[in-house]
Amino acid sequence: MRITNVEVLRSKAPVRLPEPWRPAWTEPDGQAVQEFFFSFYRVTTDEGIVGYGPHSGHPRPEALIGTDPMLVGAFWETYMGGRRAGNAGHNASGLEIALWDIVGKTAGLPIYQLLGAQRKRIMVYAATSRLLSVDETVTQVQALAEQGFRAVKLRLHRRNPWDDLAVVEAVRAAVGNDLLILVDANQNNASDGYSFWSRKTALEMAQELDALGVYYLEEPLPRTDIEGLADIASTVDMYIAGGEHTPTVFDLREHLARGAYDIVQPDVSLGGNMGLTGVRVAASWADLFGRLIIPHVMSGPGHLMSLAATLHAMATVPNCPMIEYAYDPPLLTPETMQAVAQEPILVEEDGCVPVPTGPGLGIELDEEQFIVG
Ligand SMILES: [Mg+2]
């Protein structure tokens, strides 16, 4: 089989959001987002099988024309950093996911069954995204719990970290111990006008959150402060999580060996080097160290395919208790984030998502909504 064409599909028209979106990690001076655009790769073969993946910005996708899509492992090694540390700069993760889609469609099987399924459904946590007031947050979390979510992630990125803590305290008091509360400090993001936590602040916050029975604290310090992260992780009982910006799977090596992360959070497409192959390798490495994996799922232009690829990958590993599901009504919902899907990936009553069962990724785009270019 040979690849005969690689195209980028882009939204004809944006999905307008019902109100401006101010993500916590860009506070206090970030630009509000008004609308979403989507873009995906479409990879065509000489046998008529077509694969899709999230657009990840590869500089020369046409270089794939004439190559064999079945050599997806070789593609991962060559174009995505493979064994090498550091960023290979190819931004090829979306193409790797499209190759997996072709492999699955050729076999007539969903990817997770081809790779050795361990389960057919995966629990998700509702990832909220904004810094709401104490009352607004409590109301939102109660609504999420009523919808069936068993885990909810809150954002910590207020000017005063003690204000973050007051929100978590109020939510814990309102929902009791049935719901898992996850918190993300987003201390590895660029954010104008924000005073990032020192090591002492991060440790103090971790101890307070630990006392509130929080399930995990994500990114209490920058990704590169391995020593500081390891110190916090060894001090508290709660899990310390992070790694969404990890450029290649080999950059997780020190974090695992030195105990910086109890839970690794690579992203199948963000950064462009992980891919479906990479998150499975990361899961194996974490498992070797007795650690967990809860992948980050980027809410960017290729969200739908990134979510599907993450579900397939994590259905094949033993140490993934849940994955991220961006959900922050009325902004982040299936209606906005999966507006281009023939059938969106939805959360069922028990807070779990079935892995798509069609061949390959098992996802079909509404191609009427796209132009090539
Ligand atoms: Mg995060």
Instruction: Give the chain's domains with CATH numbers.
Output: 3-108 (3.30.390.10), 114-361 (3.20.20.120)
Instruction: Record the tokens describing residue 254, joined without a space.
Output: 């020190």
Nearest-CA neighbor of 246 among 214, 220, 215, 282? 282
How many angstroms does the Cα of residue 186 sit away from the middle of ligand 1? 6
At residue 299, the pLDDT reads: 85
CB 241 within 8 A of CB 259: no
Please give the distance, rounded to the nearest whole angstrom, from the Cα atom of residue 68 to the centre of ligand 1: 35
Q: What is the DSSP letter of 175?
A: H
Q: Compute, in angstroms, the gap from residue 14 CA to the centroid of ligand 1.
A: 25
What percentage of the chain exceeds 90 in pLDDT? 91
C-alpha 354 to ligand 1 mean position (Å) = 23
Q: Ligand 1 center to residue 187 CA distance, Å?
A: 9
- What count of Cα atoms within 13 Å lies in the side-chain half-sphere of residue 197? 30
For ligand 1, the distance from its centroid to the CA atom of residue 189, given in whole angstroms, is 9
How far, in Å, are 81, 180, 226 from residue 247 at the CA level?
Answer: 9, 29, 15
Q: Is the pLDDT of residue 80 over 90?
A: no
- Cβ distance 323 to 317 under 8 Å? no
Q: What is the pLDDT of residue 272?
A: 84
- Cα 369 to ligand 1 centroid, rounded to whole Å: 30
Q: For 294-336, what is each residue's pLDDT tens digit? A: 999 998 899 999 999 999 999 999 999 999 999 999 999 999 9
Confidence category of residue 86, pLDDT binned at 50, 70, 90:
low
Output the pLDDT for position 242: 98
Question: In the predicted model, is pLDDT for residue 3 greater than 60?
Answer: yes
Quick one: pLDDT at residue 103? 98
- Alpha carbon of 69 to ligand 1 centroid (Å): 32
Mean pLDDT of the chain: 96
Question: How crowded is the C-beta side of 226, counted as CA atoms within 13 Å?
Answer: 11
Query: 242 alpha carbon to ligand 1 midpoint, in Å?
Result: 7
pLDDT digits (tens, 9 = 90+) for 209-228: 999 999 999 999 999 999 99
Residue 260 has pLDDT above 70, yes or no: yes
How far, in Å, is the centroid of ligand 1 from the Cα of 157? 11
For residues 138 and 336, give the distance between their C-alpha atoms in angstroms, rounded to a whole number: 23
Which residues in the chain belong to E strands, given as ranges?
A: 3-11, 15-21, 33-36, 39-45, 50-54, 121-127, 151-155, 180-184, 216-218, 239-242, 263-264, 292-293, 323-326, 352-354, 370-372
> What confidence score (pLDDT) does residue 239 get?
98
Band of residue 261 on the pLDDT scale cut at 50, 70, 90: very high
Ligand 1 centroid distance, CA of 245 (Å): 9
pLDDT at residue 153, as a whole number: 98
Identify the three-state secondary structure at position 251. helix
Q: What is the pLDDT of residues 13-68, one digit of tens each?
A: 999 999 999 999 999 999 999 999 999 999 999 999 999 999 999 988 999 999 99
- pLDDT band for position 247 (50/70/90)? confident
Going from the Cα of 46 to the center of ligand 1, the distance in angstroms, rounded, reads 40
**Gap from CA of 127 to ligand 1 centroid (Å):** 9
Gap from CA of 184 to ligand 1 centroid (Å): 6
Taking the centre of ligand 1 as the mean of its atom positions, its distance from the CA of residue 155, in whole angstroms, is 9
Asked if 63 and 241 count as a contact pair (C-beta separation under 8 A), the reply is no
Sign of CA dihedral 106, 107, 108, 109: negative
Q: Is the pLDDT of residue 88 over 80?
A: no
Distance 131 CA to ligand 1 centre (A): 14
Q: How far is the CA of 244 from the centre of ligand 1 (A)?
A: 6
In the structure, what pLDDT confidence band is assigned to residue 83 with cuts at 50, 70 and 90? low
- For residue range 329-347, what is the model confidence (pLDDT) as tens digits? 999 999 999 999 999 999 9
Residue 74: its pLDDT value, please?
92
Cα(373) to ligand 1 centroid in Å equals 31
| pLDDT at residue 85 is higher than 70 | no
Look at 40-44, 83-87, 93-97, 106-110 and tell me which has the smallest mean pLDDT.
83-87
Question: 154, 184 in Cβ contact below 8 A?
Answer: yes
* 315 exposure class (CB count in 10 Å sphere: 0-12, 13-18, 19+): buried
pLDDT score for 292:
98
pLDDT of residue 87: 62
Check whether 81 has a pLDDT greater than 80: no
Residue 269 pLDDT class (50, 70, 90 cuts): very high
pLDDT digits (tens, 9 = 90+) for 117-167: 999 999 999 999 999 999 999 999 999 999 999 999 999 999 999 999 999
Separation of 368 CA from ligand 1 center, angstroms?
A: 33
